[in-house]
């Protein structure tokens, strides 16, 4: 049974949608420290109210992720994944309104998480409710995940669900504030720790020591030149930057150690081995000048880049649905940052990132979401789910 916009749109209830989002925003779920339980309770109750089969899964106590399914016999699994954790509100004096008040004013709902990413969560829930009310018939499963921990790399949320085999979508949409643009590629995020070891000595006689900070400085100077000459059509090129650097004990002591933390963003088709090799090349170039460099390279965190083809079903379905909901041409883009989409992509799903909300307002004291866009987002999600779940030949 294929549903059209005219079949679904009458069942998108704006007032109900806004109340869904208000309830989620009013349940603080700051990460850190990561107490997503209040927001998970709200999401679970909303899923049950719609009539979905619900389960809760914790990688650690008080860090639940909610998985809701609408199953209709054998068939493909269409996934939706978005996160219920938010970054801390921070200094409350910077906010004009209570960050957890979920105030509605001038056509916008204000508050932490309104766009990133409780807005997409509420829109997807409303989409499922509308499809239920419209009498949508299909074969397969709609699998919706409202996850913890995305703001701290996602390993205790979407990563945990994928690793444990709890969610296994064939095709999926990840809800993030993209202003309803469709993200078909995402850069990888890699965090390196480089440690240089030297020999302490008196500052008055630096030649008697080995300066670990000087050695680190030489490595840092070579980091950018080891980036590959790659430009991806939608995410651009790779990047690298020093995030933190610490070395030395006192101004008149030759520093015996130095630690630098490096943020390296990769692009398709780079691999983990490619990225590690580029850092070691920087160390090698530095060693040409200072042969006594003693450097250790560690990779505490690695996330793959991913991309799907323009002609893939998930891209064409999401794009067509957005265009239908907005009544204008849709846009394709790439994500320079990271999202939980990397976990689903690594597990073999065709995945895009798309959702209502303005990413430039996320993580700020001005976070809010336009309610017209939120409503269009719910309709776009409903149309996309319907397209991807529609039986072949229908």
d(CA 43, CA 54): 10
Distance CA 370, CA 105 (A): 10
CB 365 within 8 A of CB 94: yes
Tokens 């265009």, residue located: 323
Q: Could you tell me the domains of the chain? A: 5-186+305-389 (3.40.630.10), 188-303 (3.30.70.360)
Q: What is the distance between the alpha carbons of residues 175 and 81, in angstroms, rounded to a whole number?
A: 6
Asked if 359 and 334 touch (Cβ cutoff 8 Å), the reply is no
My answer on whether omega of the bond before 30 falls inside 30° of 0, hence cis, is: no
Q: Six-digit token pair at 35?
A: 């107490």
Cβ proximity of 121 and 40 under 8 Å: no
Its pTM stands at 0.92
What is the predicted pLDDT for the residue at 139?
92
Spatial CA neighbour of 16 closest among 156, 128, 138, 153: 128
pLDDT band at 73 (very low <50, low <70, confident <90, very high): confident
Which tens digits make up the pLDDT trace of 251-302?
Answer: 999 999 999 999 999 999 999 999 999 999 999 999 999 999 999 999 999 9
List the one residue out of 249, 247, 254 whose CA is nearest residue 202. 254
Residue found under tokens 């980091």: 223
Residue 278 CA to residue 219 CA, distance in Å, equals: 12
pLDDT of res. 3: 79
Long-range Cβ contacts of 199-204 (<8 Å, 24+ apart): 199/254, 199/256, 200/249, 200/253, 200/254, 200/255, 200/256, 201/253, 201/254, 202/252, 202/253, 202/254, 203/251, 203/252, 203/253, 203/254, 204/252
Residue 348 neighbours by CB under 8 Å, 6+ apart: none
Read off the pLDDT of residues 75-127 as tens digits, 9 standing for 90 and up: 999 999 999 999 999 999 999 999 999 999 999 999 999 999 999 999 999 99
Q: Any idea what the Cα angle at residue 159 is, between residues 379 and 149, rounded to 5°?
A: 75
Residue 354 is predicted with a pLDDT of 98
Please provide the size of the chain in residues: 394
Q: Read off the DSSP letter of residue 30.
A: B
d(CA 343, CA 25): 25
Tell me 293's DSSP state: -
Answer yes or no: is pLDDT of 393 > 60.
no
Is residue 294 within 8 A of residue 180, CB to CB? The reply is no
Specify the residue for token string 């938010």: 86
- DSSP per residue, 137-170: --SEEEEEEEES-GGGTSTTTHHHHHHTTS---S
Report whether pLDDT(185) > 70.
yes
| Residues above pLDDT 70, as percent of the chain | 98
pLDDT at 392: 59
Helices (H) and strands (E) in the chain, counts: 10, 18
277-292 residues labelled b (16+ CB within 10 A) or e (exposed): ebbeebbebbbeeeee
């Amino acid at each position: 049974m294929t549903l059209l916009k005219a079949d679904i749109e009458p069942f998108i209830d704006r007032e109900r949608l806004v109340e869904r989002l208000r309830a989620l925003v009013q349940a603080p779920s700051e990460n850190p420290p990561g107490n997503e339980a209040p927001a998970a309770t709200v999401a679970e109750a909303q899923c049950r109210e719609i009539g979905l089969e619900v389960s809760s899964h914790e990688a650690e106590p008080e860090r639940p992720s909610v998985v809701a399914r609408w199953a209709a016999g054998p068939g493909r699994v269409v996934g939706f994944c978005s996160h219920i954790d938010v970054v801390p509100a921070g200094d409350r004096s910077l906010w004009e309104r209570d960050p957890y008040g979920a105030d509605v004013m001038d056509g916008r709902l204000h508050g932490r998480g309104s766009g990133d990413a409780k807005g997409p969560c509420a829109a997807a829930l409303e989409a499922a409710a509308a499809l239920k009310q419209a009498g949508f018939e299909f074969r397969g499963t709609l699998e919706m995940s409202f996850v913890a921990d995305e703001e701290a790399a996602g390993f205790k949320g979407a990563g945990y669900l994928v690793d444990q085999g709890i969610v296994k979508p064939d095709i999926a949409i990840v809800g993030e504030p993209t202003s309803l643009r469709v993200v078909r590629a995402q850069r990888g995020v890699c965090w390196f720790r480089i440690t240089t070891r030297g020999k302490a000595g008196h500052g008055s006689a630096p030649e008697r020591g080995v300066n670990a900070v000087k050695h680190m400085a030489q490595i840092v100077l070579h980091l950018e030149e080891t980036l590959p000459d790659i430009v991806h059509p939608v995410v651009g090129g790779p990047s690298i930057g020093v995030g933190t650097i610490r070395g030395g004990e006192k101004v008149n002591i030759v520093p015996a150690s130095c630690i630098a933390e490096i943020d390296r963003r990769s692009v398709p088709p780079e691999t983990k081995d490619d990225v590690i090799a580029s850092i070691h090349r920087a160390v090698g170039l530095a060693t040409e000048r200072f042969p006594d460099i003693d450097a250790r390279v560690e990779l505490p965190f690695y996330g793959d880049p991913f991309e799907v083809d323009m002609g893939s079903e998930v891209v064409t379905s999401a794009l067509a649905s957005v265009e239908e909901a907005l009544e204008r041409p849709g846009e394709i883009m790439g994500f320079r940052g990271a999202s939980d989409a990397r976990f689903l992509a690594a597990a073999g799903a065709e995945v895009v990132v798309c959702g209502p909300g303005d990413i430039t307002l996320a993580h700020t004291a001005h976070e809010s979401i336009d309610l017209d866009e939120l409503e269009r987002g719910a309709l776009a999600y409903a149309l996309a789910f319907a397209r991807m779940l529609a039986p072949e030949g229908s």
